[in-house]
Amino acid sequence: MVGEDPFALFGAWYGEAEKAEPNDPNGMVLATATPDGRPSARMVLLKGWDKDGFVFYTNLESRKGVELAANAHVALLFHWKSLRRQIRIEGAAAAVTAAEADAYFATRPRLSRLGAWASDQSRVMESKASLTAKVAALELRYVVGEIPRPPHWSGFRVTPEAFEFWQDMPFRLHDRTLFRREGEQWRTEKLYP
């Protein structure tokens, strides 16, 4: 039964996906757009969520980082094929705090932290050897001690304005439930499949 809280329903479906999906149940499509409306979509990983929104991390100088700086309106899409479900979320992205980004960065594997420094994400790479050389130089630089978070690496929290829960049904008579924020409340509507 669909309640009046889309976050509770998300939590229930996400919990089922964590048990059923063989790979990356936290994988989600992030769709951004340039200021003139040209769309761009890519897979990212959900790294945390609560009633304040859905958090992911990235290089701020990447294409998505630049697009988010210019246009904060985004869409997220979770698709769990094994469950025959998807959730679409629309909202605005805002930067997480430096403390949040630092705390998450510290949990990443060492090589991932070095990679955050070494990668000029989304820009043309001269060769794989140039990336490997940058990582090797950083390994020498950070032989001892913690690897600090690069200033160009942080996270975003997407605050939902709308959720759509889609459940596959026989004969393409799918169940679609839309939650749209109205002030502090959520309005719920059923959509035709």
Residues catalogued as catalytic: 172
CA 115 to chain centre: 19
Q: How far apart are the first and last CA of the chain?
A: 18
Q: Tokens for 82?
A: 């094994």
Q: Are residues 165 and 87 in contact, defined by beta-carbon separation less than 8 angstroms?
A: yes
Find, among 119, 120, 107, the residue nearest to 147 by Cα: 107
Alpha carbon of 190 to those of 14, 67, 103, 175, 177: distances in Å? 21, 32, 40, 8, 5
